[in-house]
Structure 1
């Protein structure tokens, strides 16, 4: 039952997420291409220079939580049941998305985004594994 729901919802969710990454939250095109390749520094800088905790939680935690569903991709693509395969395919895809943000100037290409998004996929994969172990009859 859960797998069927996931199969129905993942494509619209992915389209919504791509929309948010390129156009959502009042995003406008930057004047210049921006890339940040130093891991963790841009996130630490963001936390240090953001006054409202809500913004910190929304952006940093959002970069993790919004990608948890991609840890469940093994339910659609059996090859992605393996964590290493899932992470490899996801990192390849998210690097392409980050590069598109750079080239279109509709976002910032950040290594931190790749790290946080990938951590979300890892958490999703762990949650999927726990669900499959504990609730076998509901996952089918």
Structure 2
């Protein structure tokens, strides 16, 4: 039952997330291509420059939580029940999305986004495994 719900909701959710990443929250095309490749540095600088700790927490946590559903992709693609395969596929996909943001100038290619989003997928994978272990009968 849970897998059926996931299969129905993941495509619209993915499209919604892509919308947010390229057009949401008042995004406009930037004048320049922007790139940040120093891990953690841009997130720390962002937090320092943030208006409030609440805003900083919401954005950093959002970069993790919004990607947790992709940790469940093994329910759609059995090969992705393996953590290594899931993370390889996800890092490849999110790197392409970040590159598209860079080349379209509709966002910034940020290594920290790749790291935080991937951590979200990892947490989602752990939650999926825990759900399957505890509620296997409910997952089908």
Equivalent residue number for residue 7 of structure 2: 7
1:56-67 paired onto structure 2 within 5 Å: 56-67=56-67
Give the distance between the partners of 2:135 and 2:57, measured in 1 at CA. Answer: 31
Compute the displacement of 1:52 (Å): 1.5
Compute the displacement of 1:3 (Å): 0.3
CA deviations 1:12-43 (Å, max 9, x no partner) are 00000000000001111111000000000000
Structure 2 spans left out of the alignment, 5+ residues: none
Equivalent residue number for residue 72 of structure 2: 72
Equivalent residue number for residue 41 of structure 2: 41
Compute the displacement of 1:55 (Å): 1.7
CA deviations 1:55-76 (Å, max 9, x no partner) are 2122101000000000000000
CA deviations 1:54-108 (Å, max 9, x no partner) are 3212210100000000000000000000000000000000000000000000000
How many residue pairs match? The answer is: 140
Equivalent residue number for residue 19 of structure 1: 19
Compute the displacement of 1:53 (Å): 2.2
TM-score by length of 1: 0.98
Give the distance between the partners of 1:60 and 1:125, measured in 2 at CA. Answer: 19
Give the distance between the partners of 1:86 and 1:59, measured in 2 at CA. Answer: 24
Equivalent residue number for residue 107 of structure 2: 107
Give the distance between the partners of 1:8 and 1:54, measured in 2 at CA. Answer: 33
